[in-house]
Each structure stands twice: as C-alpha cells, then as structure tokens.
Chains A and B, each alone.
Chain A
C-alpha cells in the first residue's frame, strides 16, 4: 500500500511539476550563453527535421499495415523480375534526401556551431583555470585584477541527507550546492582552461552549453560568456569513481561592479589565510580547524570515524603512517611519512599540495594524529608545512 501511495504521489507531483517548469522541462534548460542558445536552436531544428521524417515514414507504414493485410484479402503485387534500373532509381531517392539533409540543411549550421564553439580566444577578456579532482573542483583566476585567486569548491549538501536511507526532507538544491561558488562577470567572454589531477572529469553546466573533459596532464579549453546574471548549476559528467555524483558546479554570474567587489573581498580573505600560516597555532585550534577540513575532504574515503573502507581506503585509526614520525633527524620530512602522504599522495590517495593551503594541511594532520582514536600528541605547525613545500 505504501508503495502504491508513493507512486500515486509521484504521479501527482509529476503533473504539478509539469506546470511549474512549463516551457523547459521537455527541452534544454533556458540558455544563458550564446553557445547554449546556438545549441538549443540547432537541437530544435534537427529534432524537428528528424521528427518530420519519422512521422512521415510512420504514417506510410501505418497505412500499409492497415491496408495491405492478408485478413483483408489483399493480394500481394506480383513481383516482376527485378529491373535493376528501376530499383536503383527508387533506392537512390532516400539516399538523395538524406544527402541533402545531412550535408546542407543540417550540415551547414552544424559547421558554424563547431567553429563558434572552438573559438576560445577571440574577444576573450578573462582566463580561468578549472581543475577537476576526486571529487571536487578547483578554480583559479589567471589574469587581470582577479589574478591569484584560487579556491576549492566542494559539495555542501549536508552529509546526513546524502547518506543511505535518509528519510527526511532534502534541500531544494540537493546535490547541487557547493561551499565556494565560481563567480563570473556578466557579458564577458571567459576562456576556460581545463585540467585534472587524477582521473577524467567533465565540467558541465547545462545552461552554458559547453562541456569539456578535464584530462590529467593536459590542458583542454572551452569558453563561456554568461549573458544573464543569476546562479547556474551543473555536475561532473564523466564517471570519475564513487564520488562522481557528488561533485556539483555552482556559478554565480554577477555584474562587473559586483564582480570587482567580490574580487577585492576574496583577495583580502586569501591574504588573511596566508598570514595565518605564519603565526604559531595551539593544538586545540588546529584540531578544531582540522576536523572541518577532514570531514569535508577526507571522510568520503577514510570515513568520519577514521575506520576507512579497506582494502581500497585504509583506516587512519591505528594506522602506522598516522602514528609514525613525520620528520627525520635532519629536520626534513621523511619519505612515506604522514606529511609526505598528504602532500604528494600515493596510488588512489590524491596529492593535496595544490588543493589545501598550509594551515589546512597542518590542521588536518594534527587532527588525524590526535583524534579518530589516535593520540600521538604532537602538533604540526603551518609554518612547517610551508617550509616542507619548498
């Protein structure tokens, strides 16, 4: 009964939502960039052409199915010896129709769309770099005032909602909300460089119409020009492991003045964070900060409790590495030490060098050594991480 009620509710909800989304739930979402607009036009045009072909052919078939039946004593036409010339003539007709559709009616607009899509540089006023990692995006502004702004963007839907068996009410933007949004100025053509640190990812915002695979070790490029202010959401669309469904994209497109204000604020915030790296931290502060960093970045594999998911993802509780020494007698960090693992990664464990700042790395290591059932008792200072990076 419960099941039937759910289905009934589902059908009702569906009918209601058809009203709510009205225009666009049956097609691409409302385009926000010239490329998405072009894609929508191309798509609509091709769908119309193929739809017409389909319906015409279907009508012919249905006519034949109902008229040329044995039950209506329809006599099959006597086939004469196949006259090759007639046969060739008839079979060339569909060939010619498709030739026209493929290479003229569809082929010419498709050509222009490709050229537009691949022209990433003309009139581009800004460059950003997007790096995909398991399972988060990193954004970096490469030029202009914003140069040097760099941050990581993680899923921010509460963990209990994404956990198995959650029964409560989900956020409206369930799975489509992040902690740090990418901010872009409206109306500017932004050249987007794309890469990855571990496996393939694909940065896709449906309303932008551009999608490009992020390939580790290579730079790919595309562009976006958001013409309407607003918030746009998307997801990774290249299978990238168990967190593939959990690395959303949120972009705020804002007017230029607002973008400048955001840039100034973000720069100040980053300066503060880097200043924090030089001061001496207490163990308690590091552990408190570290808990947040751990749960955001590490818990997906090593679990909130530190128990891991062996054999792929080892436990941190009682782990040799998390309880062993970090620095050798010469003051340099040891190979295969806790710090080495976090900075450089190994096999499935990603390198966090580029994703986390000095304070975050120091905090998370201190947390892992003094919580999760471990009690080494030592403290790793951000300044030591900074030194280790050199």
Chain B
C-alpha cells in the first residue's frame, strides 16, 4: 500500500466535530469511550439511589423515604447497575480492546456498533423517567417490584413496570447487537497466525459472554413481553385464575438471570489473568485449562437457574438436580482460582493500582464464590433466601467480582487509551478506601441475614439496628470514595505524565505494540502473530 493512498484513506474518513462526531461515529475507540463514559455516569446514578436507601436504613423507623418510593429505588438501582453500569463497561472495554488485542482495524460491523450504543441512553431514560413523571402527577413512579419483575406484583404495578419492560427490550436488543458484532469480529478479523487457542483471554471471556447473551436475552425479552400482555391485553400466562402460573415467570426470568451473572463476570475473568501476568512478569498459568473452564462455566450457566427460587416449591428430584448442578460450578471456578494464583506464584510482582485491584478482586470474589457454594444447599437456602445474607453474597460477586474488576481494567488500560499516566497515589488510595469500606458495608449484611432480616424492607425490627448502622456509614464512605476514581480518570484524560507504548514493564500483547494513545485508525496494516 503506497503512502498516498493511506493519506487519502485517512482524509476520506475525516470525522465531523462536536456532537455529530459522537452521534455518527463508527470508530471502535469512540464507541468504546462512549460506552465507558455512559457506564461511569450510570454507576453514580445507581449509586446515589442506594445511598438514599442506606440513609433510610441507618436506623429503625421511617425517616426519609415512603415504602413505595423505597421499593422503586431498590429495583431501579439493580437494573441500572446491572444493565447500565456493569454491562456497558464490559462492552466498552470490548470495543476498545478487542480490535487492538487481535490486530484488527475496527469491529466487524461498525454501524451496528453505533446503533448498539445509542440504544442505551433512551433505555436509561425509560428506566428513570417515571420518577420524574410522578413528580408531575403522572403515574405512581418507577417499577416497584425489585429488578426481578415477579408477577403478580408486577401485573398489579403502575406504569413504571411498562417503562421498565420497554427499557429491558431496548437494552436486550443493544446487548444482542453487541454480541453479534463481537462474535463476527473474533471469528473473522484475527491477525494472521492468531489461532483461537492463541487469542487473548479477554477475547475468550467475551466470546463466551456473547454466546450466552444471544442464548438468553430472547428468553428475557419473551418473558417480559408475556408480562406486558398479561398487564394490558388480557392474557393469563402468569395468572392462576386463567390457567397460568406465577412461578413460570421465575423459571423464564432466571433462565436469563443466572447466565446474566456470568455475562457480567466472564469479561472480567478474561482480563484479570492478563493483568496478573503483566504485573507478575510471567506468562499466565494454564491458558488451556482457563479456556476450558470458561467454556464449562458458560455451559453450566444455562442449566442451574432454579436455585434462585428453591423456596418457591418444586419436586424433590428437581431440588436435588439444581442443588448438585449448582455445586458443580465450583469445579471449573476452582481451576480458575488455582490458575490465577499460580500465575502470581514465583512471579516478580509489583503492586501498581491495577494489580492491587486484581489481587483484592481474587480475595473478595473468592468470598462471593464460597458463600455461593453454601447457598446452593437447599435446606440452608431456606434460611438464606431473600435475607440480607443473599444481598451480601451477590454484592461480593457483582460489586467485588464485577465492578472492582472493571476498576482494575480501567487503571490497566487507561494509560493506553489516553496516552497519560493516572495518579498512582490517588489510585492506591482509591483501592484501599474501596476495599475496606466495601467489606465494612457488606460483612455486617451477612450477619443481618443470618439473624433473620429479610431484604427489601424499608423499616426493620430493633435487633437489626447496629449492623445496619455500620453498613450505612461504610456505604457512604464507599460511595464518596468513587469520586476519587472519577477525578483520577478525568485528570488522566486531560493530561499528565506521557505513557510509553508498552506502559507496563511486563505487558505483552498486540495492544501494547501501538503508540499510547493509539491512532484513530490503528492496524490499518494487519500485524502477524507467530
């Protein structure tokens, strides 16, 4: 390719400036940046909702919120955090890093990529608009059923439920589009010589995530559509009086909902080993074993759903099957944990912020995993189910395992994306504040659950007061510590010490061969992998 055609090519793709650049962009880096920014904003939206709840739960009695509003906040907090904070963050990294990691010039389907992102802001508005409408006397606020939409409560609910159903439809379409794009990219655009079994682990994690999304999102979309027709068009899918079954919804919902947990976590399980090998200065251990484990978890994810509602009543063989299949997930996870730790073992470790987050992540996610193992036991689950024990458990998997993982990834790739180093001092402070206040928020909730406090109650009996108070104080520290994160990201984007191409001493892989920040169009000439 001659120099003149390259220059012409670049010129041809000269992009509009201002808002039109972002509305019309098909560049994977621009779209990745938009996903990540959107995710960060929604992280604070969802976070402020939960701080309102923790303020209410600071002591017994109702102080700030009405029970109706409380119920709306808990459900929308979860939907926002899962669909608008955690998933877009993972997709943002996929957009930014997958082409760079596999030596591709862009994603395979760039226009679809743009559409995938621009479906998100309208769905975020759909989710939160009912709060505003209620202020003007229209409807009675947002979805008040918890994020799980369980009928008949959701059939009884107000317009907030309809808004949330349509938001889920849009988010689902966006996720399926993103997944198709990633699968097509990974199967068609890898650099010559990069066989599937040489693909970076992050790409593997996302490949399995994408398959899970395509398999399960349509089930969720179908379930919420059935709910919509039950609400407005006289069907009785979930109404016993018309021959339906409310528990049927739970089966459909969790057929999506359980894989969703792995959808959120698999991308993180992909890049954490890459961070570990970088800062241990030694290749990751058991690449093959990790890939096979990811596949095993992807497969198990779709056959264990009913453990989310053991107490709803099911035949003994079903209880036993779902109990043992759920326990089986710990087998591939044990292999993964072993490989992660073995990667660190006898490495030459240094503890920059990404490594701190990665190591803290292993420990805290380990707690989430082990408490998940005891939750699988049907008899004990009768006690844990819908108590604060479960709340603590899934925050160890989704906050520690998900969001703290995303933070590790952010610090790891931020210098590559912006071309500047972030403040290591603030990063470390952010890590310690987050890790400590996170534990102080959720460890008391394990004890609250054991003592018998149900989740989703706006007011509680006096014996739960002390633990709730500790949890609330720590939650506020946790929430406000995240301002450091934003400050660090923003000041890193604006300037700072120049980052080298490789950024980290031990970093290996195609993305670290490009300049920091990489040019707008990277890998216009395909690299080869030996």
| A residues neighboring B (CB under 8 Å) | 6-7, 10, 13-14, 17, 21, 24-29, 35, 38-39, 42-43, 46-47, 50, 53-54, 57-58, 60-61, 64-65, 68-71, 73-77, 79, 82, 84, 87-88, 90-91, 93-95, 97-99, 101-103, 106-107, 110-111, 113-118, 161-166, 170, 172-176, 198-200, 202, 204, 206, 209-213, 215-218, 220-221, 233-246, 311-312, 347-348
Give, as a whole number of angstroms, the nearest-CB distance from B24 to chain A.
42
Query: Bound complex: CA of A10 vs CA of B362, how far in Å?
Result: 33
- Distance between Cα atoms of A223 and B409 in the complex (Å): 49
Given A68-B348, A215-B313, check contact A88 B153 (CB 8 Å). no
Taking a contact as CB atoms under 8 Å apart, the answer to whether A99 and B331 are in contact is yes
Indicate whether B299 reaches chain A with its CB closer than 8 angstroms: no
* B240 contacts chain A at the CB level, 8 A cutoff: yes
Give B287-305 as 1s and 0s: 1 = Cβ < 8 Å from A's Cβ atoms.
1110000000000000000
Are A17 and B347 in touch, CB under 8 angstroms? no
Given contacts A14-B469, A69-B350, A82-B287, contact A102 B331 (CB under 8 A): yes
User: In the complex, how many angstroms separate the beta carbon of B239 from the nearest chain A beta carbon?
Assistant: 8
Question: Which residue of chain B has the shortest Cβ distance to A28 in the bound complex?
Answer: B450
Residues of A within 8 A of B319 (CB): 114, 118
Instruction: Given A29-B452, A50-B370, A215-B246, check contact A114 B313 (CB 8 Å).
Output: no
Q: Is the CB of A166 within 8 A of B466?
A: no
Q: Write out the residue numbers on chain B whose beta carbons fall within 8 Å of the beta carbon of A111.
A: 320
CA gap between A90 and B458 in the complex, in Å: 49
The 3 nearest A-B residue pairs measured at CB: A217-B240, A113-B379, A245-B457
Inside 8 A of A74's CB, which chain B residues have their CB? 346-349
Cβ–Cβ contact A26 & B246, under 8 A: no
Q: Cα distance A218–B383 when bound, in Å?
A: 22
Chosen A-B contacts, 8 in total, with CB atoms closer than 8 Å, are: A25-B451, A39-B379, A68-B345, A73-B348, A174-B461, A212-B382, A215-B313, A244-B457
In the bound complex, CA of A242 to CA of B319 (Å): 31
Given the known inter-chain contacts A42-B379, A114-B320, A239-B146, please indicate yes or no for A76 contacting B330, CB distance below 8 A: no
CA distance A74 to B344 in the complex (A): 12
Contact status B327-A106, CB under 8 Å: yes
Given contacts A82-B288, A114-B316, A216-B246, 5 further A-B contacts (CB under 8 A): A10-B465, A24-B451, A77-B346, A175-B461, A348-B156
A240 and chain B: residue at smallest CB distance: B153
- CB neighbors of A among B468-504 (8 A): 469-470, 473
Instruction: Mark out the residues of chain B between 335 and 393 whose CB falls within 8 Å of any chain A CB in the assembled complex.
Output: 335, 337-339, 341-342, 344-351, 359, 362-363, 366-367, 370-371, 373-374, 377-380, 382-383, 385-387
Closest CB of chain B to A169's CB: distance in Å? 10
Question: In the complex, A176 Cα to B382 Cα: how many Å?
Answer: 20
Determine if B230 is an interface residue (Cβ-Cβ < 8 Å): no
In the bound complex, how far is the Cα of B375 from the Cα of A39, in angstroms? 12
Smallest CB-CB separation from A13: which chain B residue?
B466
Please, which residues of chain A bring their CB within 8 A of the CB of B473? 7
> Is B432 an interface residue, CB under 8 A from the partner?
no
Residues of B within 8 A of A (CB): 59-63, 66-68, 71, 139-140, 144-146, 150-153, 156, 158, 239-241, 245-247, 280-283, 285-289, 309, 311-313, 316, 319-320, 323-324, 327-328, 330-332, 334-335, 337-339, 341-342, 344-351, 359, 362-363, 366-367, 370-371, 373-374, 377-380, 382-383, 385-387, 447, 450-452, 454-463, 465-467, 469-470, 473
CB-defined contacts of B151 to chain A, threshold 8 Å: 199
A216 to B244, CA, bound (A): 11
Known: A106-B377, A220-B313. Contact between A114 and B323, CB under 8 A? Answer: yes
**Chain B: which residue is nearest A74 at the CB level?**
B348
Q: Which residue in B153, B347, B351, B457 is a CB contact (below 8 Å) of A76?
A: B347
Which residues in B have their C-beta under 8 angstroms from that of A28? 383, 450-452
**CB < 8 Å neighbour of A213 from B309, B379, B465:** B309
In the complex, the answer to whether B316 meets A115 with C-beta atoms within 8 Å is yes
Contacts of B311 in A (CB 8 A): 202, 211-213
Across-interface contacts of A165 in B (CB, < 8 A) = 62-63
* A43 contacts B246, C-beta separation under 8 Å: no
Q: Pick the contact of A79 from B156, B283, B469 — CB < 8 Å?
A: B283
Distance from B161 Cβ to chain A, minimum over Cβ atoms (Å): 12
B281 contacts A76, C-beta separation under 8 Å: yes
